[in-house]
Amino acid sequence: LDETGLPYIDILNSVRDESGSAVVHCIGMEGITIGREMTKWLFDNSEKYFGKKIDTAKLGLINYTFSPNKDFHDRFEGNLAMFQELAPGNTNIFEADGVTGGLNEETGYNLASAILAAHPEVEYWFIPACLELYAQGAMRAAESLGMQDRVLITAVNSEVLTALWDSGYEGCWVSCVASAPYQYAAPALSGIVSLLNGTETIDSLWSSIRKPTDKLTFYEIGTEIVTKDTYKDYFEFVRKESGLS
């Protein structure tokens, strides 16, 4: 793309150099923040779904990552930090690194099924997935082991789960971080127009919100965790707020 001379803006996952500095403008979710929010949501809502208050000592965490990718691993780090904060002393923490397979549902299934089957001492499980395909695999694993009543899953992005909800799904994958095209399209189009008409340069675009460690800007969008009862209203709200329809 650099060779074309045309401006471009990345979405979802950042492009970084070896030092971890963003080198392409990107619109996405800040990983550590969203990881913390997902895990806190599971703690805050577990009584509703499990039907009783759970002793945190009886909880286990399956924490997905894809370690070569900073955005995925930041979500992992946020999940871990919040779990340790809200369940101090709990050592039922299990890393599930997708590098053993790939960014797909089958890897999510293989990792979750192995961990769930190997630890019968853990009574209840939280699974905040950094990737929705991993969450889908974890859902399948819990169902195949007959553990869906003891597992709560949430994940980043919403395309897969909302499609399941549209088809009537009700199961242990209970929420997701909403990701609507309008959330990305509005700032991306605005940024591209500013670059094309000369209002902004590559260096000046979004410079006021750029982290000192980044060469270009990671534009953090707002986040919302939705359930089957709230997702339609939220996406309608985002559509109206974007001004694109």
Q: What is the pLDDT of residues 4-16, one digit of tens each?
A: 778 889 887 788 8
**In contact, 54 and 140? CB cutoff 8 Å:** no
How confident is the model at residue 97, as a pLDDT?
Answer: 99
Sheet of 218-220, strand order = 10-11, 26-28, 218-220
* Strand 176-177, strand 225-226: pairing: antiparallel
Are 63 and 25 part of one and the same domain? no
Q: Are 87 and 69 part of one and the same domain?
A: yes
Residue 114 lies in a domain: yes
**Token code pair at residue 85:** 């904060």
State the pLDDT at residue 245: 58
Range of the domain at 218: 2-29+180-240
| Whole-number percent of the chain with pLDDT over 70 | 97
Asked if 44 and 94 sit in the same domain, the reply is yes
- The pLDDT of residue 187: 86
CA 13 to CA 196: how far, in whole Å? 23
- Domain endpoint, select from 174, 196, 219: 174
User: Mean pLDDT in the chain?
Assistant: 93
* 137 belongs to a structural domain: yes
Residues 60 and 156 in one domain: yes
Shared domain for 6 and 100, answered yes or no, is: no
Judgement on whether residues 113 and 165 belong to the same structural domain of the protein: yes
- Would residue 212 count as lying in a domain? yes
Note whether residue 185 is domain-resident.
yes
Rounded to two decimals, what is the model's pTM?
A: 0.87
Asked if 210 and 115 sit in the same domain, the reply is no
245 found inside a domain: no
User: pLDDT class for 237, splitting at 50, 70, 90?
Assistant: confident
pLDDT at site 182: 76
CB-based contact 237:226 (threshold 8 Å): no
- Which of the four pLDDT bands, split at 50, 70 and 90, describes residue 160? very high
User: Do both 40 and 25 map to the same domain?
Assistant: no
What are 109-158's pLDDT values in tens digits? 999 999 999 999 999 999 999 999 999 999 999 999 999 999 999 999 99
At which of 159, 174, 189 does a domain end?
174
pLDDT at 229 over 80: yes
Q: Bridge partners of 218?
A: 26
Q: Which residue has the higher pLDDT, 244 or 113?
A: 113
pLDDT, mean of residues 171-180? 94
In a domain, 130, yes or no: yes
Would you say residue 1 has pLDDT above 60? no
Pair 151, 139 in one domain: yes
- What pLDDT does 131 receive? 96
Q: Among 120, 70, 68, which residue's Cα sits nearest to residue 97?
A: 68
Q: What's the CATH number where 99 sits?
A: 3.40.50.2300
| pLDDT score, position 240 | 80
Last residue of a domain, one of 128, 156, 174: 174
DSSP 8-state code for residue 157: -
Taking alpha carbons only, the member of 214, 195, 192 closest to residue 204 is 195
Instruction: Look at residue 158 and give its three-state secondary structure.
Output: coil
Q: Write the pLDDT tens digit of every residue in 27-81.
A: 988 899 999 999 999 999 999 999 999 999 999 999 999 999 988 999 999 999 9
Same domain, 103 and 162: yes
Collapsed DSSP state (helix, strand, coil) of residue 151: strand
Instruction: Look at residue 94 and tell me whether its pLDDT is greater than 90.
Output: yes
How many folded domains does the chain comprise? 2
Does 66 lie in the same domain as 37?
Answer: yes
Residues comprising the chain, all counted: 245
In a domain, 226, yes or no: yes
Q: What pLDDT is attached to residue 243?
A: 65
Q: Does 150 lie in the same domain as 192?
A: no
